[in-house]
Amino acid sequence: MPLWLYYIASLCDGAIIERISKERHVPESPITKSGPKILTNLAQVNRRANDLAEQNVRFRVWVKFGCKLTDHELDAVVREVTDEVWSHIDCTACGQCCKALRITVDADDISRLSKRTGMGAMAFMRRHVREKSGEKYLAQSPCSFLRGNSCSIYEDRPKACADFPYLHAESFRERMLMMIENSFVCPVVFNTLEALKRKLAWNKK
């Protein structure tokens, strides 16, 4: 099994896979009636990401070494494609990143969240934070701040949550491995990768 699949396995425990397999639907958008299909069914996204894992690794190699766009040009295309895809996906009907991913937190996050929850930083850490290999992360999965599919501390959420799925950040080319990993759980990432293959006229063969 490739290394990055082990990483995915570490992110997704058995219960999460079970939740995904319950075929929950994020409502599909009208775009699916005409243009390329936007896949929003979480179980299908997970399955297709598995099916396309090898292809996505080849796409990554091409983006890194074959695509002639500069990093800046590529990032602009990724942002444009992401915005188009995201305009057809309702995150409040999904919430999968709050249920399936490990949310890292730093000192600023802990300070902000301990104030928000009215707890001292130490009490907040004991209750809500765990640490592994020097990395601090929110203890509960699904996240204990999730209410339905909405974040109950939205304005003060950790930076990792605010930035997810990192498709608007710079250096997409260097972060493609993470994108392939996130395509297993996030419809925005999965569909953006598929749309990018078309937009960049990548030859899959």
Determine the Cα–Cα distance for residues 14 and 180; give it in Å rounded to an integer. Answer: 20
Answer for which of 38, 161, 179, 180 binds ligand SF4 (CB under 6 A) is: 161
Binding of residue 158 to ligand SF4 (CB under 6 A): yes
Binding of residue 8 to ligand SF4 (CB under 6 A): no
Helix (H) or strand (E) run with residue 150 in it: strand 150-151
Determine the Cα–Cα distance for residues 159 and 174; give it in Å rounded to an integer. Answer: 20
Answer for which of 85, 176, 188, 200 binds ligand SF4 (CB under 6 A) is: 188
**DSSP result, 84-140:** HHHTT--GGGT-HHHHHS--B--HHHHHHHHHHHT--HHHHHHHHEEEETTEEEES-
What percent of the residues of the chain are helix, what percent strand, and what percent coil, each to the nearest 5? 60, 5, 35
Determine the interface stretch with ligand SF4 among 17-25, 55-63, 122-130, 157-165 (rule: CB under 6 A).
157-165
Determine the interface stretch with ligand SF4 among 7-15, 29-37, 61-69, 185-193 (rule: CB under 6 A).
185-193
**Closest separation in Å from C-beta 45 to ligand SF4:** 9
Binding of residue 145 to ligand SF4 (CB under 6 A): yes
Kindly list the residues in this chain that would bind ligand SF4 in the complex (CB under 6 A).
Answer: 89, 91, 94-98, 103, 143, 145-146, 151, 153, 157-158, 161, 164-165, 185-188
